[in-house]
Amino acid sequence: MKIQMIPCLQDNYSYLIIDEKSNVACVVDPSEADPIIEYLENNKIKLKFILNTHHHYDHVGGNKKLKEKYGARVIGYKRDRERIPEIDILLNDQEIWINENFEAKVIYTPGHTLGHVCFYFYKEESVFTGDTLFSLGCGRIFEGTYPQMFDSLMKLKELPQNTKVYCGHEYTKKNSDFCLTYDTKNQNLITKIYDIDAKLKGGLPTIPSTIKDELECNIFLRSNNLETFSKLRDLKDNF
C-alpha cells in the first residue's frame, strides 16, 4: 500500500491509500475533487471508496463529484448519516472495515464534532485523524465537550508509538509556537521544531507525524488530566 498526500484548499490534506497491486484506491477526506482526480488520472488509478472522518465541508467537499466520476462508495460514521453527503456505508465505533486489501478500524473520537471518527489502517501502521489530533495540536471543540475531546485523545494515545499520524491540516508550525510557549524546556519539542522549520523551508509537508512524536511533544497529549487539557484548549483558542 502507498499513501499519497494531496494538498487541497489552503491548508487541508486529503490522502489516497493506494493498493499498488490492483491500482485501486480509497481517499480520506476529499476537501475538493479536482486535485484528487488529477492524481488518479495521471497515474491511472481507480477510486473505489471515500472515507470521511466528519461532515465539515472542507473534508467532504469532493464527495459528490468523485462519486459521480468513479462510482466510489462513501464511508462514514453511522450517526453522521444525515450530514455526510452521498454516504453509502455506515460504520460503528470499533468496527473493522475490510474490502480486499483495505483494512481499517473505526475509532469514535467526538469533540470537534459529535460524529467524528478516525480510521486506523493497522497493517499500514497509519491513522487518519481528521480534525481530532493534529501534529502538535488538537481540534477546536465545536459540537462536543472538553471531556469528550480529552477522552478521544486518550484513545489515540493508546495506539502503537510507531503509528504514523495523518491529520487534516497543515497547522504544525503554529501549533509548535503554542506548545513551546507553555512547554519551554521540552528538548524533544525543540528538536522537532528544527525539523519542522527545515521541512517548511524546503517546501515539504510536516505530515505525517507519529504517535511517539506526539506523546513527547504535543502539549495536549502530554496533559494527563481534564482540567489541564481544558485550560490549554481555552488558551489555544485565543493564541
Active-site residue set: 54, 56, 58-59, 112, 131, 169
DSSP 23: T
CA 17 to each of CA 80, 127, 209: distance values in angstroms, whole numbers, following the listed order: 23, 12, 17
140 close to 181: Cβ distance less than 8 angstroms = no
Q: What is the sign, positive or negative, of the torsion defined by CA atoms of 137, 141, 144, 150?
A: positive
Residues in contact with 213: Cβ distance below 8 Å, sequence separation at least 6, in sequence order: 135, 165, 188, 192
130 close to 140: Cβ distance less than 8 angstroms = no
